[in-house]
Amino acid sequence: MKTFFERLRERRLASVFTLLATLSIAIIGGSFAAHGVHGQDKNNSSADATPLKVVESPVPPNQFVKIAKEVGPAVVNINTMTLPKQANNQKRDFHQFQAPNNPNGGQGDDGQGQNGLQDFFNRFFGGQMPDQGGDDGGQVRESLGSGMIVDPKGYIVTNNHVIEKADKIYVKLSTDPDNSDPGRPARVIGVDKATDLAVIKIDTDKPLPTVQFGNSEKVQVGDWVEAIGSPFALAHTVTAGIISAKNRTIEPGASGQFQHFLQTDAAINPGNSGGPLLDMNGNVIGVNTAIYTQSAGNQGIGFAMPSNTVVQVYNDLIGPEHKVVRGSIGIQFRPGLSSAVNRVYGFKNGVLVQDVQPGGPADSAGLKPGDIITTVDGRSIKDGDDLVNDIAGRKPGSTIRLGYLRNGKQMDTTVTIGDRDKVFANLNNPQQSSGPQSGNDEGESKLGIVVHEASPAITAKIHEQGMEITSVRSGSFADLQGLVPGLVITRINRQPVATKAEYDAIVSKLKSGDDVVFEVRDPRHPETGINYLGGTL
C-alpha cells in the first residue's frame, strides 16, 4: 500500500506533465496561427505561381563602364622571367624603393636622404607577384605587372620595378588568347629609376589601341578616378575611388626626390603596377606604382606617378640617348631643417648649402657650404623641392642667376647648369677611417656628449678642425638632434670650435631656451660635406 507521501509525489508529477503538454500545444498552435503553416499539401498545385524574368534596366551605363570599355583594350598584362644566375642568390621582392647608398643621405641639388628604411617595402610595394619558383636555387623566377599602350606602333609605359633585372619580358593584349602562351616578346627602350618608369616595345603588324594623357596638375582631391590592371594575375580588373591627396613623397631623401605621387583609395594590389589611373574623361592622370599596406593587400592608400611627369620622362626615354637628362648645379643640402637652424642662420625661405661638389657648376661659380640660396633668376626659392624642380628641368649648358646669402650679406652669381648624372658620378664612394674616441668635455651635462679635438688624420679628411664626438648620452639634447659618435663638430651657432677651449667657451654660455645648431662632418664619409643639426635647448 502506497504511503501518503508517495501518492502526493505522483499527483505532482502528473500535474507537471499535464502543464508541459498544455504549453507545448499552445505554442505550436500559436505558431500555426501566426504563420499560417499547415503542412505540405501533396494535392495542392503551383499552377498559380508566376515564373521569374530578367528585365532590361532603364538605367544607362555609368561613366565607369564607358571608361572601362574605351580604355581597357589599351591596358596590357606584363609577364617577366628572370633566369637563374649562378652568383645571384638574392630574392626579388615586390616593389622595393632603394635607400640611398650614402649613409648620411647626402644628395645633389635636392636634399638628403635618411637612414632607417628597414622594412620599407613591407609597407610600400607594387607590381610583382611573388616568385613562382620558390627560392632562387637554380629556378626561373616569374613576376607580373601591368602597362599601357601609348603609341599604336607598340610602345608601352610601365613601372621600372616591373621589368627591372628581367631576362625576358612578355606582353599580353586584351585580345590575345588566354592560354599557356606567355605573350608577345618585348624589349626595353629606356628606364628612369628616379621616377620608377620604363618604356618597352612590342612588334605589331597593325596599329594598336592607345591611352590618352590628361593634365595631372588639374586634378583635385576628391575627384573620381578609375584604375585598370592585373592584380594577382586577374587581367583587366577595374577598380574605382577618389584622389585622396596630392604631391605625396613616400620615400625620403635621394630615392624619393622626383617621386611626388597622387594618392588614391582606388583598390591597387600587386600586379596593378604600371597600369593607368584614369579621370572621368578616360584620360590617364597617373601610373599606378605603389600601395601602403600592412597585410600585403590593398588598404585604401595607393600611389600613382602623375601623368605630367610620365609624359616628360617618356619623351626623354624615346629620344636618341634613351635616358632622362636632369640639370644640376652640384650642391648638397638637408631638407626639413628645424626652425632653430632658420633662426640662427637668419632665413625663412631658401636652401642652406651643406656641401659643394668639387669642380661642379656651383663650385666654379664660387658657392660655398653655409651659403643660403634664396632666388633663381630673380624668383624666390621656397625650399629644396622648389630648387630641385627648377634646376632639374633645365638643360645642361644653360645658365641661371643665383641669389644667395653669405654671412647675412646678399650676393649673386651666374651658374652654368650641368648634367646631374655626370656632376654626381663619384658622389657615393664612401671612405672608411678611424680615429681616437676618448676624452671628456664639460658639455656632457648640458648637451649629453663627450668630445675631444679631432686628430690630424681626421682633420685632413674633412679639411677642417673640430671636436670629435666620442660618446652620446641616450635621450640627451645631442641624441635628439641626431649626433652620434664619430662625427666631428666644426661649429656651434656659426662659431668655430677648432679647439677644446673654443668649444668649452661656447658651450658654457648656452642656456635653456637657446637655439643650438651644430655644423658637423663625418670623417668616414667626407664627401657628404656639412650637416646642420640643431634644435632648442
Catalytic residue IDs: 161, 196, 273
DSSP secondary structure letter of residue 122: G
For residue 505, CA distances in Å to 4, 449, 470, 488, 521 come to 111, 15, 19, 17, 21
- CA dist., res. 149 & res. 126, Å (int): 19
Give kind and range of the element (H or E) at residue 536.
strand 531-536
DSSP 16: H
Nearest residue to 306 (alpha-carbon basis) of 382, 421, 229, 197: 197
Question: Nearest 5°: phi and psi at 342?
Answer: -60, -40
CB 239 within 8 A of CB 230: no
User: How far apart (Å, rounded) are the C-alpha atoms in residues 277 and 239?
Assistant: 10
Task: Tell me phi and psi for residue 224, to 5 degrees.
Answer: -70, 145
The C-alpha atoms of residue 156 and residue 178 are separated, in whole angstroms, by: 20
Backbone torsions φ then ψ of 349, nearest 5 degrees: -120, 145
Q: Tell me how far apart the alpha carbons of residues 408 and 119 are, in angstroms, rounded to a whole number.
A: 43
Q: Which three cell numbers stand for residue 431?
A: 671612405
Give dist(CA 106, CA 102) in Å, integer. Answer: 6
